[in-house]
Amino acid sequence: MSNVIIRTNDLCKTYVSDGVQFHALRNINIEINSGEFTVIMGSSGSGKSTLLYLLSGLDEITAGEVYFENTRIDCLSDQQTAKFRRKSIGFIFQAINLVPNLSLLENIVISGYLLSKDRKAVNERALELLKIMELEEEGNRLPSQVSGGQQQRAAIARGLINSPTVLFADEPTGSLNSSQGQNVLDVLTDINSMGQTIVMVTHDIKAACRADRILFIKDGKIGGDLRLSNYSKDNREEREIKIFEYLTEKGW
């Protein structure tokens, strides 16, 4: 049985700005597997975030097809798309985007209340997630009263509140210092080892070495596909060397 969870067929995205077309993604054909930690890497402007937005149904495609658990998501109605987003995906942004006047706990539960009427179950799940994120003491604080790393961990909890099929992350460590970033990556690695499928965009090799697999984008096309699952997750140095070797081999 196939464990492919997301599949694209000749996926394209063209932006039009001031009447000028820009082909941000061209004929992307990829499969993403359930339970894997997939990283999308590439230089600035290569199309990484655009791909993440199309795979998660957050933006409209120009041409091609996107299948999520065998459902074609690029031609859903607005209402179906909204339901799909709430139920099947979680999303973490570089800018974190917590609501500033709500506590961390309120930020987490509010996404749950939008989907489920069982507030008690949502509250219990939120407390469980706060524990996993090591934020038990901070739940009642406002985002401004905790560190950037703690804010991002709360955002991860918010992204997980509805137990999404896939957690998408767009440069989740981009606004954090090195130790906060490592901490957020540790959390993502832990939840992946509990079975959570993750697709993360990064240009940072230290973040990418957490992946089972890295898809490289170059000028809007898939330029490489590297599997790291044969290398121990604990030996990140070996994984970083492998990525460097691969990039050198490709002449990037």
Give residues 118-157 in contact with ligand ATP (rule: CB under 6 A): none
**Which residue's CB is nearer to ligand ATP, number 35 or number 174?**
174
Give residues 190-219 in contact with ligand ATP (rule: CB under 6 A): 203
User: Partners of 98 in the beta sheet?
Assistant: none
SS3 state of residue 79: helix
For the CB of residue 44, give the shortest distance to ligand ATP in the complex, in Å. Answer: 3
The residue within the footprint of ligand ATP, chosen from 8, 38, 50, 150 (CB under 6 A), is 50
| Burial call 212-221: b when 16+ CB within 10 Å, e when fewer | bbbbbbeebe
Give residues 77-106 in contact with ligand ATP (rule: CB under 6 A): none
SS3 state of residue 117: coil
**Which residue's CB is nearer to ligand ATP, number 55 or number 209?**
55
User: Taking contact as CB under 6 A, which single stretch among the options 30-38, 41-49, 84-92, 139-147 is the one that binds ligand ATP?
Assistant: 41-49
Report how far Cα 135 is from the mean position of its chain's Cα atoms.
21
3-class secondary structure per residue, 123-175: HHHHHHHHHHCCCCCCCCCCHHHCCHHHHHHHHHHHHHCCCCCEEEEECCCCC
44 binds ligand ATP (CB under 6 A): yes
252 binds ligand ATP (CB under 6 A): no
User: Taking contact as CB under 6 A, which single stretch among the options 26-34, 46-54, 71-79, 120-128 is the one that binds ligand ATP?
Assistant: 46-54
β-pairing verdict for 37-42 and 213-218: parallel
Q: Which residues bind ligand ATP (CB under 6 A)?
A: 15, 17, 22, 24, 42, 44-50, 203
